[in-house]
Structure 1
Amino acid sequence: MPVNILMPALSPTMEKGNLAKWLKKEGDAIKSGDIIAEIETDKATMEVEAVDEGILAKIVVPEGTADVAVNEIIGVIAAEGEDAKAVSTPAKAEAPKAEAPKAEPVKAEPAKVEAPKAEAKSAPTPQVTAESGINTGGKSVSGDRPFASPLARRLAKDAGIDLARVQGSGPHGRIVEKDIEAAKQGGAAKAAPASAPSAAPTAKPAAAPLAAGPSDEQTKKLFAPGSYEEIPHDGMRKTIARRLTEAKQTIPHFYVTLDCELDALLKLRAELNAAAPEKDGKPAYKLSVNDMVIKALALALRAVPDANVSWTDGAMLKHKHADVGVAVSIPGGLITPIVRDACHKTLSQISNEMKDMAARAKARKLKPEEYQGGTSAVSNLGMFGIKDFAAVINPPHATILAVGAGEQRAVVKGGQLAVATVMSVTLSTDHRAVDGALGAELLQAFKGYIEKPMAMLV
Structure 2
Amino acid sequence: MSDIRPIEVPKWGLTMEEGTLSTWLVQEGQAFSKGDELCEIETSKIANALEATFDGVLRRVLVEPGTTLPVGALLAIAASESVSDEAIEAYLATRQSGQATPTTPAQTATADNTPAAPVSAPVAVADTRPASSNGIPGQLRGETDAPVQATPHAWRLARREGIDLAKVSGSGREGRICVEDIARAVNAAGGSLPSREHSVPSTAVGDDSEVAATPIARRLAVARGVDLRHCRATGSRGRVCRADVEALLSRRQGNTTVAVEQPVAIPSVTEQPLSSMRRTIAARLQASKQSAPHYRVSMDLDLEALLSLRDTLNAAVPELKISVNDMLVKASARALMVVPELNVQYDEQRQVIRQFVDADIAVAVAIDGGLITPIVPAANRKTLGEISMLIRDLATRAKAGTLKPAEFQGGSFSISNLGMHGVRQFDAIINPPQVAILAVGAASEQVVARDGQMVIRRQLTASLSSDHRVVDGALAASFMKELKRLVETPALLMV
TM-score by length of 2: 0.62
Q: Which residue of 1 aligns with 2:382?
A: 345
How far, CA to CA, are the matches of 1:416 and 1:93 in structure 2? Answer: 81
Q: Which residue of 2 aligns with 1:88?
A: 88
Deviations 1:99-150 (A, max 9, x none): xxxxxxxxxxxxxxxxxxxxxxxxxxxxxxxxxxxxxxxxxxxxxxxxxxxx
How far, CA to CA, are the matches of 2:471 and 2:271 in structure 1? Answer: 41
Deviations 1:51-95 (A, max 9, x none): 4x442352433562421332211123438xx82455514142435
How far, CA to CA, are the matches of 1:83 and 1:444 in structure 2? Answer: 72
Secondary structure, counterpart of 2:437 in structure 1: strand
Change (3 A) 1:320 1:18: same
How far, CA to CA, are the matches of 2:37 and 2:215 in structure 1? Answer: 44
Deviations 1:376-416 (A, max 9, x none): 11111111221111100011211100001111112222233
How far, CA to CA, are the matches of 2:374 and 2:456 in structure 1? Answer: 36
Question: 1:113-124 alignment to 2 at 5 Å?
Answer: none
Work out which of the two has the higher radius of gyration on C-alpha atoms and give 1 or 2.
2
Question: 1:170-319 alignment to 2 at 5 Å?
Answer: 217=215, 225-226=266-267, 228-276=269-317, 283-312=318-347, 313-319=350-356
How far, CA to CA, are the matches of 1:22 and 1:217 in structure 2? Answer: 32
Letter matched to residue 88 of structure 2:
S
How far, CA to CA, are the matches of 2:101 and 2:399 in structure 1? Answer: 46
Match of 2:445 among 402, 405, 408: 408
Q: Which residue of 2 aligns with 1:14?
A: 16
Secondary structure, counterpart of 1:88 in structure 2: helix
How far, CA to CA, are the matches of 2:277 and 2:101 in structure 1? Answer: 36
How far, CA to CA, are the matches of 1:427 and 1:301 in structure 2? Answer: 13
Deviations 1:417-441 (A, max 9, x none): 2221111100001111211111111
How far, CA to CA, are the matches of 2:386 and 2:84 in structure 1? Answer: 53
Contact 1:378 1:401 in 2 (8 A): yes
Secondary structure, counterpart of 2:406 in structure 1: helix
Extract unaligned runs of 5+ from structure 2: 103-212, 220-264
How far, CA to CA, are the matches of 2:12 and 2:60 in structure 1? Answer: 20
Task: State the Cα distance separating 1:6 from its structure 2 match.
Answer: 1.7
Deviations 1:322-373 (A, max 9, x none): 1111111122221111111111112122112212222222222222211111
Extract unaligned runs of 5+ from structure 1: 99-214, 277-282
Secondary structure, counterpart of 1:405 in structure 2: coil
Secondary structure, counterpart of 2:281 in structure 1: helix
Q: Which residue of 1 aligns with 2:67?
A: 66
Question: 1:25-174 alignment to 2 at 5 Å?
Answer: 25=27, 26-31=29-34, 35-51=37-53, 53-61=54-62, 64-78=65-79, 83-86=82-85, 87-89=87-89, 90-91=92-93, 92-94=96-98
Change (3 A) 1:85 1:309: same
Task: State the Cα distance separating 1:12 from its structure 2 match.
Answer: 2.8
Letter matched to residue 28 of structure 1:
A
Deviations 1:24-48 (A, max 9, x none): 45452543x5554332113211233
Secondary structure, counterpart of 2:98 in structure 1: coil
Secondary structure, counterpart of 2:325 in structure 1: helix
Contact 2:20 2:276 in 1 (8 A): no
Deviations 1:202-242 (A, max 9, x none): xxxxxxxxxxxxx9849x97xx8325443332222222211
Secondary structure, counterpart of 1:432 in structure 2: coil
Identity among equivalent pairs (%): 42
How far, CA to CA, are the matches of 2:88 and 2:285 in structure 1? Answer: 44
Q: Which moved more, 1:8-17 or 1:55-64?
A: 55-64
- Check if 1:361 corresponds to 2:398: yes
Q: Which moved more, 1:351-360 or 1:391-400?
A: 351-360
How far, CA to CA, are the matches of 1:347 and 1:270 in structure 2? Answer: 13
Q: Which residue of 1 aligns with 2:414?
A: 377
Q: Which moved more, 1:432-441 or 1:232-241?
A: 232-241
Letter matched to residue 358 of structure 1:
A
Letter matched to residue 233 of structure 1:
L
- Check if 1:328 corresponds to 2:332: no
Secondary structure, counterpart of 2:67 in structure 1: strand
How far, CA to CA, are the matches of 1:61 and 1:320 in structure 2? Answer: 47
Match of 1:436 among 473, 476, 479: 473
Contact 1:56 1:84 in 2 (8 A): no
Change (3 A) 1:58 1:65: farther
* Bigger RCO (CA 8 Å, 6+ sep): 1
TM-score by length of 1: 0.66
How far, CA to CA, are the matches of 2:414 and 2:360 in structure 1? Answer: 8
Letter matched to residue 82 of structure 2:
D
Q: CA RMSD in A?
A: 2.7
